[in-house]
A and B are shown apart, each in its own frame.
Chain A
Amino acid sequence: MLIAKGLQPGMPPEEWNRTRPSLVREIHSAYLDAGADVIETNTFGGTPFRLTSYGVGDMIGEINTTGVRLAKEAVEEFSRGHNRSTTGSSDPAPTAKNPKRYVALSLGPTGMMMQPLGNFTENEIKTEFVKTMKSTIGTIDLILIETIYDLREGLLALEAVKSVSETPVAVSLTFNKNPRGYFTVMGDEAGESIKKLTGAGADVVGANCTITSTEMTELAVRLRENTDLPILCQPNAGQPTIRDGAHVYEQRAEEFAQHMIDLYDVGINAAGGCCGTTPDFIREVSIRLQNYKSSDAASAS
């Protein structure tokens, strides 16, 4: 979305929270209009290590708090608009017909390799996560630690944010398919990883990025077998490619949405999209899931 709006290589997407706030808010609004119940802040790479490498490390507090504010403003505006059109009231408070929309703080991986493979210590990893979310404590509904490719980093992140905040925490790992199943690049098996995160006190667990919705339905079975916690799945919309100079993802929204219904059947509790899932994808998912759930309920009664 940001690339389509002109984000250039070498520019951290999070910087736009400061420099192009209305555009970031518009994107949030587009997802809410498409039917999203939860939106994620534009703070995925808002860690000290990443922002410093782009030369904006000193802006970390502002970048992340603004990211939260923009998402919350979009939610409020959406809710007010919804109430106005249904009841004429301009109150933004949720009602029975206007359920609450939530804001999740997105926290991506640090990109720092831990000892013995890399140079960083466990404490340095924990500090990264705390510094990133510190300025947003108490202002968000959910902390979503995502795209984590090292279970150890996921566990450290969970421990770190839990030590400073009461907000529920979701940890979503990134798995690759290999001949023996689904593993992180560091070799953590999917089912075992989910079990460990559950044991470590995560409130929601999940998988996102890299794999497509087709593979995600296969992986979801393995995730469901290994936890009683709510599970969040956010696959990619196929693989990115370039057509006529613009980024496009190969998959169609209809196909993606159909896989989300498969995920629902497996017992996945929350569905979303990662790379390439524009508001059109979310709209398709929202409509189809609602229709499917109501027909499911009707046939059960």
Chain B
Amino acid sequence: MTEFLTHCRDAVLKGDRERAVELAASTIDNGYDVLDVIENGFSRGIREAGELWEKGEYFLPELAFSAESMKAAMDTLHPALLAGGKDERSRGLIIIGTVQGDIHDIGKTLVATMLAANGYRVIDLGADVTYQRFLSEVKTQKPSLVCMSALLTTTMTGQKEVIDLLRHEGLRDTVKVLVGGAPTTESWANDIGADGYAENAVEAVHKADALLS
């Protein structure tokens, strides 16, 4: 079993999506404890990938492939978890998007994948998401966290617009807000009244964990 768990970890750490799915399927076939395999196998892989990123050993491609592999394994395991009466995606719902007028979505997509790989249910609204769309999604989906990305100095103000809009609608206290993107900073996040700032996808997971714990 220990060896099997190590294989699961390696598949995610090396970003081998096919292998991860194969291992997830055989978890079910062999009747292994799904939660044990997730926690001590696949999740270890994504955690270690994040650590390698922080050390400057992993970069965007490695992290993206690891996160994709993790997500794929979780998708494969999902039906078994539901059947067992457990939803591994109970850590909270997150909606994420790049703000209006901004078409950049490489970083945002990686954050979304990393959050999903770390057990959150994530709705990715894509890029160029209008302020009203963020608002209506908060109203209808009732997420625990809204993540907003902006890559341009012209569009970063959109993050403030959305926060102001949430406040104006009396919804600000119902949801946490995390912002990120190249021109944004911790002090920017404070200035506009966000709950947090994340410099990269790994930090976004740490911040989400802290905000939603």
Counting chain B CB atoms within 10 Å of each CB, the highest count among A10, A178, A181, A242 belongs to A10
Mask of B109-153 contacts with A, CB within 8 angstroms, 1/0: 000000000000000000010000000000000000000000011
Report A94-133 residues with CB < 8 Å from chain B CB.
111, 113, 117-118
Q: How far is the CB of B199 from chain A (nearest CB, A)?
A: 10
Contacts of A183 in B (CB 8 A): 56, 59
Stretch at the interface among A1-9, A82-90, A196-204: A1-9
Contacts of A242 in B (CB 8 A): 157, 160, 188, 191-192
Contacts of B65 in A (CB 8 A): 117
Report A1-59 residues with CB < 8 Å from chain B CB.
3, 7-11, 13, 50, 53-54
Complex contact A9–B188 (CB within 8 A): no
Counting chain A CB atoms within 10 Å of each CB, the highest count among B65, B152, B158 belongs to B152
Contacts of B192 in A (CB 8 A): 242
Task: Tell me the bound Cα distance from A222 to B63 in angstroms.
Answer: 26
Stretch at the interface among B36-44, B99-107, B169-177: B99-107
Task: Tell me the bound Cα distance from A112 to B183 in angstroms.
Answer: 20
Task: Tell me the bound Cα distance from A190 to B208 in angstroms.
Answer: 32
Task: Tell me the bound Cα distance from A132 to B103 in angstroms.
Answer: 18
Task: Tell me the bound Cα distance from A21 to B155 in angstroms.
Answer: 23
- Given the known A-B contacts A9-B101, A11-B101, are A178 and B154 also in contact in the complex, defined by CB atoms under 8 Å? no
Say if the beta carbon of A138 comes within 8 Å of chain B.
no
Say if the beta carbon of B33 comes within 8 Å of chain A.
no
- Given the known A-B contacts A178-B56, A185-B60, are A239 and B183 also in contact in the complex, defined by CB atoms under 8 Å? yes
Task: Tell me the bound Cα distance from A157 to B199 in angstroms.
Answer: 28
Say if the beta carbon of B168 comes within 8 Å of chain A.
no
Q: How far is the CB of B7 from chain A (nearest CB, A)?
A: 22
Give the nearest-CB partner of B183 in chain A.
Answer: A240
Complex contact A240–B153 (CB within 8 A): yes
Say if the beta carbon of B57 comes within 8 Å of chain A.
yes
Complex contact A111–B104 (CB within 8 A): yes
Complex contact B156–A240 (CB within 8 A): yes
Mask of B52-63 contacts with A, CB within 8 angstroms, 1/0: 001111111110
Contacts of B26 in A (CB 8 A): none
Say if the beta carbon of B185 comes within 8 Å of chain A.
yes
Q: How far is the CB of A245 from chain B (nearest CB, A)?
A: 9
Give the nearest-CB partner of B65 in chain A.
Answer: A117
Say if the beta carbon of B64 comes within 8 Å of chain A.
yes
Say if the beta carbon of B182 comes within 8 Å of chain A.
yes
Complex contact B59–A10 (CB within 8 A): no
Give the nearest-CB partner of A185 in chain B.
Answer: B60
- Given the known A-B contacts A53-B103, A111-B104, are A9 and B61 also in contact in the complex, defined by CB atoms under 8 Å? no
Complex contact A3–B153 (CB within 8 A): yes
Contact of A117 among B61, B102, B191 (CB under 8 A): B61
Give the nearest-CB partner of B54 in chain A.
Answer: A179
Mask of B170-207 contacts with A, CB within 8 angstroms, 1/0: 00000000000011010110011000000000000000
Q: How far is the CB of A157 from chain B (nearest CB, A)?
A: 17
Give the nearest-CB partner of A178 in chain B.
Answer: B56
Report A162-203 residues with CB < 8 Å from chain B CB.
178-181, 183-187
Q: How far is the CB of B164 from chain A (nearest CB, A)?
A: 12
Contact of B57 among A111, A118, A180, A275 (CB under 8 A): A180
Complex contact B191–A241 (CB within 8 A): yes
Q: How far is the CB of B111 from chain A (nearest CB, A)?
A: 13
Contacts of A187 in B (CB 8 A): 58-62
Give the nearest-CB partner of B56 in chain A.
Answer: A178
Task: Tell me the bound Cα distance from A184 to B106 in angstroms.
Answer: 14
Task: Tell me the bound Cα distance from A180 to B157 in angstroms.
Answer: 33
Contacts of B185 in A (CB 8 A): 239, 241
Contacts of B104 in A (CB 8 A): 111
Say if the beta carbon of A247 comes within 8 Å of chain B.
yes
Give the nearest-CB partner of A236 in chain B.
Answer: B183
Contacts of A239 in B (CB 8 A): 183, 185
Say if the beta carbon of A65 comes within 8 Å of chain B.
no
Residues of B at the A interface (CB closer than 8 Å) are 54-62, 64-65, 99-104, 106, 128, 152-158, 160, 182-183, 185, 187-188, 191-192
Q: Can you give 11 A-B contacts (C-beta < 8 A)?
A: A3-B154, A9-B154, A118-B106, A181-B56, A183-B56, A187-B60, A187-B62, A210-B182, A239-B185, A241-B187, A242-B160
Closest CB pairs A-B (n = 9):
A10-B101, A187-B59, A178-B56, A9-B101, A180-B56, A179-B56, A9-B155, A53-B103, A185-B60
